[in-house]
Amino acid sequence: KYPSISLLLELIREKTGSPCLMSGSGSCCFALCDPNTEDPIRELVAEFWGERAFFRSTRISDIGLTGTEGFSF
């Protein structure tokens, strides 16, 4: 429906190396990144969609339920 979304996700992958996907319905996109690539991704989204684009930052927390520390990809 919106081919420009795929173009933005590809640009994020190329520029930052961060894996990113679109939700099934396309209403949401997300990227898995380290703290150093958050700002470059935010800048790419703003460049592509404008300053009013919605952007939310969060993190996956390891609370000791897994055998490894943190999240890696």
Could you list the mean pLDDT of each consecutive 10-residue stretch along the chain, which spans 73 residues? Answer: 86 95 84 91 92 84 62 54
Q: Does 42 fall in a domain?
A: yes
Q: Does 38 fall in a domain?
A: yes
Q: Does 69 fall in a domain?
A: no
Only one residue has tokens 């790419």, namely 44
Q: Does 58 fall in a domain?
A: no
- Chain center to CA of 33: 7
Asked if 55 and 42 count as a contact pair (C-beta separation under 8 A), the reply is yes
Per DSSP, 24 falls in state: T
User: Helix, strand, coil proportions of the chain in percent (round to 5)?
Assistant: 40, 10, 50
Q: What pTM does this model have?
A: 0.73
- pLDDT, position 68: 57
**Domain residues for 13?**
3-49
For the chain, what is the domain count?
1
Q: Does 62 fall in a domain?
A: no
- pLDDT, position 73: 53
Q: Does 66 fall in a domain?
A: no
User: What φ, ψ does residue 2 adopt, rounded to 5°?
Assistant: -120, 90
